[in-house]
Amino acid sequence: MELTVVEPGYIAEIVTYLDMRERPKPQPHTPSPLRLKQWQPVDLVKYRTLFDRVGRHWLWYSRLEMDDAALDAVVNDDAVAVYAVEDRSGIELGMVELDWRVAGDCEIQFFGLVPELAGKGHGRWLMGETLRRAWRKDVTRVHLHTCTIDHPGALAFYRKIGFVPRGRAVEINRDPRVAGIFPRGCAPHVPIIE
């Protein structure tokens, strides 16, 4: 068995890549008090605020480190769509980011709800809405990835929806809490090792 040492101040996770290669059969519409609202154009301040609210507990930080020009080039690309999940009063409680920049593919770059909504059935509704938007007529594959520091039920949820694992990788990054991007107390399920 080969082990890779993770240096102090870094975190490691196993990333699982999943594909859906056939358009899912139509399902009954799951009712929800939530709705998806596309942001067009995407306001970078609002985007980062929502990204942080949804992803902080899972240590999503990649978009928070990008400078304005790099982030704008991605989220305001014509082949990328960003949606906010809103409640009836317009409060943003989640996000979806879809990327069609590779011909024939749609990557679900980000998919998530604020932690307070976990386990309440909203994820199934959100995935149904996401897949309806992802499967454009020229799309032959919808794909995403999850990792071991994500919600513990994420991988099983994606598989139940119809995604099939196609590979794994180990990813090692600096710990965003040690780097000062997030407070040290967030994501207590991932120990800080310095």
Give the model's pLDDT for residue 26. Answer: 78
Q: Which residues of the chain have pLDDT under 70?
A: none
Say how many Å lie between the first and final Cα of the chain, rounded.
25
Give the model's pLDDT for residue 29. Answer: 74
Note whether 23 and 137 are within 8 A (CB). Answer: no
Give the model's pLDDT for residue 43. Answer: 98
Give the model's pLDDT for residue 118. Answer: 82
Cα 193 from chain centroid (whole Å): 25
Note whether 174 and 13 are within 8 A (CB). Answer: no
Burial of 81 (0-12, 13-18, 19+ CB in 10 A): buried
Give the model's pLDDT for residue 30. Answer: 74
Give the model's pLDDT for residue 124. Answer: 92
- pLDDT tens across 89-144, in order? 999 999 999 999 999 999 999 999 999 988 888 999 999 999 999 999 999 999 99
CA distance 47 to 101: 20
- 101 in helix, strand or coil? coil
- The sheet carrying 10-20 orders its strands as 35-39, 80-86, 92-99, 105-113, 141-147, 10-20, 164-174
